[in-house]
A = this chain, B = another copy of it.
Amino acid sequence: MSRNDRKPDEIRPVKLEIDTNKYAEGSVTITVGDTIVLCNATVEEKVPPFMKGQGRGWVTAEYSMLPRATHSRSIRESAKGKLGGRTMEIQRLIARALRAVVDLQALGERTIIVDCDVIQADGGTRTTSITGAFVAMCLAMNKLEAQGKLKTYPITDYLASVSVGVVDGEALLDLRYDEDSSAAVDMNIVMTGAGEFVELQGTGEERPFSRAELNALLELGEHGVRQMIGLQREALGANALKIGSHGSGGLA
């Protein structure tokens, strides 16, 4: 299986549409190839019990797939009566990644919840969710700022994510579902605008991988994240300048 829709180091076509939901404080519909995720950010003027009274905010995320986001229909987690391990793992990852670029003190005692609902899945749903959720979170922050509720803009840097992997001995950027499911090595990379790592999750699905392979994948990943951040800047328009007033550099 050799990739024929693009070169090994290319990402799929990306579309970042903003304000696609009339109620959410920030909303983004992100399309990466045939993967489509709705990212809706909600602002709640309270924090979880364990954070009360500290004057700091919180950022969290939820992730879900529609039953027919995939080739064959999957049973709803609401019908099963519990969240699966994969869902929990992904939503914990999204939330942790977002918090890495938020100054919770500057946010103040409120919570931002970003819901990532996968409408159609063709690989990379967790990385696409992170890239879209970051923009939805920025939009919600802009709304808070416009309402005069923030003294300092709380987002300290850009944040985006891509998947990379080794398929048939070749290192590939941004895997489709068919590539992902035959990958020997699979890695999700979350990076900041400054070109540093926020999360790195690599798995030898079919076999262990060497240090040299790791390095090749990291190069590809950095290349992909840089492009995603470029697209985030475009989508945010004039508001893009607010991010990282503290001074961020590198990839952005």
Contact = CB atoms under 8 A, between A and B. Distances in A.
Interface of A: 21-24, 27, 34, 38, 40, 42, 44, 62, 64, 66-71, 73, 76-89, 91-92, 96, 100, 113, 115, 117, 119-120, 157, 187, 191-192, 194, 196-204, 207-211, 214, 218
* Interface of chain A: mostly helix, strand, loop or mixed: mixed
A25 to B, nearest CB: 9
So how many copies of this chain end up in the complex? 6
Given A89-B88, A120-B21, A62 B68 contact: no
A46 to B, nearest CB: 12
Given A42-B67, A78-B78, A84-B88, 13 more contacts: A21-B68, A23-B68, A38-B119, A40-B68, A62-B76, A79-B83, A85-B91, A100-B208, A196-B210, A197-B208, A198-B208, A199-B203, A201-B202
Nearest to A88: B85
A239 to B, nearest CB: 21
Contact of A23 (B71, B88, B157, B194): B71
Contact of A207 (B21, B81, B100, B209): B100
